[in-house]
Structure 1
Amino acid sequence: MDRPFHRRLGRRSFLAGALGAASAAALYATSGGARTTPAGARSHALPDSPSPPAKSTVAVVRPSASPSLRAAVEEAVRLAGGLGFIRPGDSVLLKPAVNSGNAYPATTDPEVLQIVARLVLEAGGAPFVADRTMFLHSTRAAFERTGILDAARSLEIPCLALEDADVAWVRHPLAVNWPDRTLRIYRPVLAADHIIGLCTPRTHSRGDFTMAMKNAVGIVDGAARVRMHLGSGLRARLAEISLVARPSLVLLDGRAGFADGGPDQGDRCRPDVIAASTDPLALDAVGLAFLRIAGTNDRIGRGSIWDLPMMRRAAEIGVGAASGERIRLAGASDADAARLRRELG
């Protein structure tokens, strides 16, 4: 019997073939200030004047107290509302954090990616993996070194190196820190029915921290990312990516993280948490709280979490819950909830 199609493909062909198929489905265009999409396609952009939610749920699970990593991930996803948003046949982008070829927690653990991909398959979705690593670095090489490619191949799902993909210009009136309020986003991202972010809690030498919101950098065209880092306003630009590419769910694998340094190397810490939410701002707030509890640098360890520039800008533009009072902690023990509340303010 012949092996399945993806198993017959070589590694490079697997990536390129998957990318070609996804790119062919991506027919996004822009017209003036509004993005047009094919009939039935899901727009990931927030409204021109988004309203912060009255409450956002963040699931909090201690993996050390769970029978397995899969059980911890499944419980976090369930507490965050589950995968009921996936309809049969929906394409679901699994967006890992693959900023380099360094292993977890610098990048997403391939085991966690497999677990979430299986959940998507069980929900009837069609998952695929896509990312763009650091500018001038090979995403293909990073996928191979981190085990992300093997994880995707084991489930016979596409794994896309986005530097080979076409780009769409997406404008949002609130993206005031981007040239002409326009972001260049890879088309396969926009073509997906849903985005699920898979991030880790890390400090970041330029952006202060990288979790749910900053993980979206990998969907921005490489050349635009170079300009993104120039001049002032970097952290505000990072927050504004969520205006045009809001995830349906984000999972934070905080069994380990970086307390200082980052994004690809840093001082390790062990927050011991799996968290999940449909709100990237609320998830980042809880992730920052866990980093502070575990011990982190002065930049994010002092003052209010909500005063960090990326957090402040995200709250201003309505990305999600804009205060600790608006965050509902699901699954946290009384002791954890009390500690988190002190940090969340």
Structure 2
Amino acid sequence: MDRRNFLKHLAGLSALAASGAWLGCATPTTAASRRLPLQVGASTESPTLARTPVALIAATDRRQATEEALALLDITLRGKRVFVQPTLHSAQPPPYSTHTHILATLARHARSRECTDLVVATRHPHHSTAALFRAKQLPTMARELGFDLLALDELPSHQWRHVRPEHSAWEQGFALPRQVMDADVYLQLTTALSEAEPPHLRMALHGARGLLGVRIPGSEHNLDEELTGCDDPIPRQLELVEARTPDLILLDAIDVAASESSGERCGVFVAGLDPLAVDAVGLALLRRYQPAKATAEHAIFEHPLLQAAASRGSLIASAREIEFLTDKASAPLAEELRARLGV
């Protein structure tokens, strides 16, 4: 069974939540162990359609929201090598970087589940990643909580893997860090953010850019320049996603940028297994605050990035495959998002 069908099989288990069973990848627990009373969205078109779960959590406390998300979409971490990628567009607060409360809560959770290795890593394409780590005080957190902190722009060449998919849009393939390729579990921490330049959205599908090596080992060809200089970066970006798709994505939409100079308190935390599903929900959330921006020019799944991702066959193909898991407070929002998604 390939990864997509496997995740859809897991998503099909979401119907069990309504009868008091637990949704996730590990051993079921009783309904009493959940912190949230779940409401599972029903399909009026095709009750048997395979679904991928997306949890909506109404929250302003990021520690609690992270704990709730990890409880709803639990995955086995014991004895696993865990790779965590935070968002680090800058050292500014969310949505421009992952809040330290989320990362600390996740690190404590992973250690309490007895993972064997815990690596936190990313790369900024234009600035020193280590300097941004220091501005966020992540080296101190790493020492206190016991994880390895890697600035991927400082990683030596032998720590990179050359990936060359068949019929690749990349001229010579691309490079990803050994640590994420060898990890048993890849957790992505993202935020709800859009930008003026294509492909516009900077959420789960965009996060793979933070794993891209500057060069393929043994080559002088600059991958950053190829990605930013090509006519259409989307196919290359999606190849990065497919080479190592996250196993769980946590999307912090508690605060979103309403404009370049102002923000809004959205008060929503999102968790999902499929990066396209998470980005579709994130885009629907953004449209509540950015109706005049480029994010609103198309129907959700007609957005160029999401449309291209859906057409490749490795992720969900439509909004009808998204199954919302909600608490009572966020159930009305789930209904609004279904309408925005066209289901």
Q: How does 1:141-220 map to 2 (within 5 A)?
A: 141-165=131-155, 166-173=159-166, 176-180=168-172, 182-206=173-197, 207-220=199-212
Are positions 1:275 and 2:274 aligned together?
Answer: no
- Assess if the C-alpha contact under 8 Å between 1:50 and 1:319 holds in 2: no
Are positions 1:334 and 2:331 aligned together?
Answer: yes
CA distance in 2, matches of 1:51, 1:83: 14
Structure 1 residue 310 displacement after superposition: 1.3
Gaps of 5+ in 1: 1-45
CA distance in 2, matches of 1:204, 1:239: 18
Structure 1 residue 296 displacement after superposition: 4.4
CA distance in 2, matches of 1:143, 1:297: 34
Q: 1:150 to 1:297 in 2, by over 3 A?
A: farther
Structure 1 residue 239 displacement after superposition: 2.4
Look up the SS of the partner of 1:256 in the other structure. Answer: strand
Are positions 1:287 and 2:289 aligned together?
Answer: no
Q: 1:51 to 1:123 in 2, by over 3 A?
A: closer
CA distance in 1, matches of 2:129, 2:262: 24
Q: How does 1:226-305 map to 2 (within 5 A)?
A: 226-261=225-260, 267-305=262-300
Pairing partner for 1:221 from 189, 208, 213:
213
CA distance in 2, matches of 1:61, 1:304: 24
Q: How does 1:45-194 map to 2 (within 5 A)?
A: 53=8, 54-64=50-60, 68-79=61-72, 81-84=73-76, 86-88=77-79, 90-125=80-115, 126-135=117-126, 137-165=127-155, 166-173=159-166, 176-180=168-172, 182-194=173-185
Percent identity of equivalent pairs: 29
TM-score between both structures, scaled by the size of structure 2:
0.77
Structure 1 residue 213 displacement after superposition: 1.2
Deviations 1:142-185 (A, max 9, x none): 101123333222212110011122321112236x32224x2211
Structure 1 residue 209 displacement after superposition: 1.1
Q: Is 291-300 or 54-63 further displaced after alignment?
A: 291-300
Aligned to 2:46: none
- Assess if the C-alpha contact under 8 Å between 2:83 and 2:186 holds in 1: yes
Deviations 1:300-330 (A, max 9, x none): 1232111112111111112422211110000
The one-letter amino acid paired with 2:93 is A
Count of equivalent residues: 286
Structure 1 residue 334 displacement after superposition: 3.2
CA distance in 2, matches of 1:211, 1:98: 11
CA distance in 2, matches of 1:101, 1:255: 17
CA distance in 2, matches of 1:254, 1:334: 16
Q: 4+ residue runs of structure 1 moved beyond 4 angstroms?
A: 49-52
Q: Is 273-282 or 99-108 further displaced after alignment?
A: 99-108
Look up the SS of the partner of 1:294 in the other structure. Answer: coil
CA distance in 2, matches of 1:178, 1:270: 39
Structure 1 residue 191 displacement after superposition: 2.2
Structure 1 residue 275 displacement after superposition: 0.6
Deviations 1:274-316 (A, max 9, x none): 1111111101111111111233443112321111121111111
Q: 1:201 to 1:119 in 2, by over 3 A?
A: same
